[in-house]
Amino acid sequence: MTIAGRYAPSPSGDLHVGNLRTALLAWLFARSTDRAFWMRVEDLDRVREGAAERQLEDLAALGLDWDGRPVRQSQRRELYAAAIERLAAEGRTFECFCTRREILDAPTAPHLPPGAYPGTCRTLTEQERAARRRERPPAIRLRSEVDEWSVTDALHGTVTASVDDLVLRRNDGIPAYNLAVVVDDGAQGIDQVVRGDDLLTSAPRQAYLASLLGIEPPEYAHVPLALNLEGKRLAKRDGAVTYRELTARGIDVFDLIAASLGLVGDSPQALLDGFDPSQLPREPWTFVPPAPA
């Protein structure tokens, strides 16, 4: 069976230097363990015209390569529908009519974090569901049978987080991120997921969902994010932070990223010989805009 890692950007705009840093790490984790490396465009939502093509160009300019052609989630809707149908046939789903505001305002069970789904629509009768459908289309949620789940992360060890009745399909018909990513990873033979640590607490719920779909959960490595000077997550609004913007100022983006990781080499391939995940920084990287060259 193919073993592989992946990078899966959302084409909402150009990648900033923090995104590129995570992409390089995903590539290094995969290539250093003789895995294939797939590129997946997560374009089910928030798509900006031409962004995917620009992102792939920037990743290639950074020196990254990948196997096969990039996969687009928008072309895989049948896979997501089949997964939901399977779960529904097993009695593991229910219709939910709650708005985001109603969920935030509702009392939450003690074992769930604030804002978690409180199970409001779990026990609606068919008559109640029929009445609600006349008001708004339903989302489809997983009928979770656990309160929490654990995964092992290469950088964080054992991670346990709560699992609620997560959305599988939004009420506008779009497959939810947590479902799509699990189905795609399973279908592509991805057994290693390297991504930003802002998604660390999502890993247990995704691993639980994978177990219900008969998919072996991947190995995880959640890497530190890039922050701006205010200590907040780096974003494109923080000035010149994209590959093209920094390159236009004469800055070598690859050297900048490699130095932030304590790695030495002039290309991704050159970094492989000395790559040791145990030596990677565990703290976020504060991006200090370099002076133009």
Residues with active-site annotation: 236
Structure tokens given for 125: 């009768």
Helix axes 177-187, 77-89, angle to 10 degrees: 100
Separation CA 192–CA 33 (nearest Å): 10
Residue 232 assigned to a binding site: no
Structure tokens given for 66: 């990948």
DSSP result, 46-75: S--TTHHHHHHHHHHHTT---SSSPEEGGG
Residue 177 assigned to a binding site: yes
Helix locations, 111-176, DSSP H = 126-133
Residue 236 assigned to a binding site: yes
Residue 96 assigned to a binding site: yes
Looking up tokens 């983006």, which residue turns up? 253
> What is the separation of C-alpha 233 from the centre of its chain, rounded to a whole number of angstroms?
15
Give me the long-range contacts of 168-174 (CB less than 8 A, separation at least 24). Answer: 168/83, 168/84, 168/87, 168/93, 168/139, 168/140, 168/141, 168/142, 169/80, 169/84, 169/139, 169/140, 170/139, 171/97, 171/136, 171/137, 171/138, 171/139, 172/137, 173/137, 174/44, 174/45
Residue 98 assigned to a binding site: yes
Residue 293 assigned to a binding site: no
| DSSP H or E stretch at residue 247 | helix 243-248
Residue 210 assigned to a binding site: no
b/e burial code for range 2-33 (CB count within 10 A of at least 16 → b)? eebbbbbbbbbbbbbbbbbbbbbbbbbbbbbe
Residue 162 assigned to a binding site: no
Residue 289 assigned to a binding site: no
The number of residues in the chain equals 293
Residues making up the annotated binding site for L-glutamate are 6-10, 42, 177, 195
Residues making up the annotated binding site are 6-10, 42, 96, 98, 117, 121, 177, 195, 236
Residues making up the annotated binding site for Zn(2+) are 96, 98, 117, 121
Residues making up the annotated binding site for ATP are 236
